[in-house]
Amino acid sequence: MVEPVTAVAPALRRLRILRQDWLDLSFLHWAVEPSSIARFFPPGTVPDVFDGASYVGLVPFRMADSGFPHGPALLSTFLETNVRLYSVDVTGRRGVVFLSLDANRLDVVAAARTVFGLPYRWARMRYRRQGAHHAYSTTLRRPGVSAASTVEVQAGAALSAGPLEHFLTARWGLHVARAGRTWYLPNDHPAWSLRTAELTAFEDDGLLASVGLGELGTRPPDHVAFSNGVPARFGLPVPATTARATR
């Protein structure tokens, strides 16, 4: 049985390994046929669906105050843009599968790829804010690969989150294939405070194509939202066959 979607995080095992703040996030989502993206999912996971559709997310944001659970932050603020899918594992636990995580710090890219096996990539990135207007640009730093994107949104009033918004944002962990197994890395954070958002500019210059989804760049997203952000914590990874801890 698939676990319910909840705006409040499930219990996180007591040993935490990481904390970070996610700030100034724009959520762009495209509805897709689940079978069209099934090839991207790690063994033991399948696309999660909402009203018969699965979703592809493009999420640019600022990362701040990354570090161990206690003590000073180890990293200053940096930028990230990720392309993500929504997963369910054999225990019925919901999560996220990242197709790419582009960041403008090479040390972050190297550490995340080495320790967690996540598909981080080094990129030139820029973030600008003027009032409620937020602009993000990403250009992949990889010889022979042209992959870039520009996203600009105008954030609006508070958004009363419905079932779709919870499905897209209240994801309490990620699935990743590592060392011949599929793992689940749990997280928790306060419930999202979302805002409406108008997409004022969007240009995909190969970023979505670089993860095998170039066709999405030819049409506008089906859902756009914004959040000022949340502080997040991560627990120890467990095999995806291990059921989620309960309160």
pLDDT band, residue 68 (cuts 50/70/90): confident
> What integer is the mean pLDDT of 25-30?
98
Residue 233 to residue 26: CA distance in whole angstroms: 20
Q: Please report whether residue 168 resides in a domain.
A: yes
CA quadruple 178, 120, 187, 40: dihedral sign: negative
Residue 196, in any domain of the structure = yes
What is residue 70's predicted lDDT score, i.e. its pLDDT? Answer: 81
Please check whether residue 200 is in contact with residue 132, taking contact to mean a CB–CB distance below 8 angstroms: no
**Is residue 86 over pLDDT 90?**
yes
CB under 8 Å to 60, separation ≥6 — which residues? 25, 26, 79, 80, 81, 127, 136, 138, 149, 151
pLDDT digits (tens, 9 = 90+) for 190-222: 999 999 999 999 999 999 999 999 999 999 999
Residue 4 counted as domain residue: no
- With contact defined as beta carbons under 8 Å apart, do 182 and 175 qualify? yes
Report yes or no on 54 lying in a domain. Answer: yes
**85 neighbors 63 (Cβ within 8 angstroms):** no
Q: Which of 67-71, 82-86, 114-118 has the lowest mean pLDDT?
A: 67-71
Helix (H, G, I), strand (E, B) or coil at 172: coil
d(CA 83, CA 36): 16
Look at residues 149, 176, 194, 154 and name the one whose alpha carbon lies nearest to residue 239.
176
Does the pLDDT at position 76 exceed 90? no
9 in a domain, yes or no?
A: no
**Structural domain of 27:** 16-239
State how far the alpha carbon of 48 is from the alpha carbons of 3, 52, 70, 89, 189, in Å.
Answer: 11, 9, 34, 9, 21
Percentage, residues of the chain above pLDDT 70: 99
What is residue 75's predicted lDDT score, i.e. its pLDDT?
81
Q: What is the pLDDT of residue 71?
A: 79
Report whether pLDDT(244) > 60: yes
> How does pLDDT run across 45-67, given as a tens digit for each residue?
999 999 999 999 999 999 999 98
Q: What is the pLDDT of residue 74?
A: 78
- CA-nearest of 132, 147, 143 to 200 is 132
Number of domains in the chain: 1
HEC profile for 85-98?
EEEEECCCCEEEEE
Rounded Cα–Cα distance for residues 78 and 88 (Å)? 30
Q: How far apart are CA 144 and CA 162, in angstroms?
A: 42
Res 247: pLDDT: 55
Residue range 146-169: mean pLDDT, rounded: 97
Residue closest to 192 by CA, chosen among 164, 223, 228:
228
- Kindly report the CATH number assigned to the domain that includes residue 230: 2.40.400.10
CB 240 within 8 A of CB 44: yes
pLDDT of 245? 75
Question: Is the confidence at residue 151, as pLDDT, over 90?
Answer: yes
3 part of a folded domain: no
Mean pLDDT of the residues in the chain: 95
pLDDT above 90 coverage of the chain, percent: 87
- Is 132 inside a domain boundary? yes
CB-side neighbour CA atoms (13 Å) of 150? 6
pLDDT of residue 174: 98
Query: Does the residue 5 lie in any domain?
Result: no
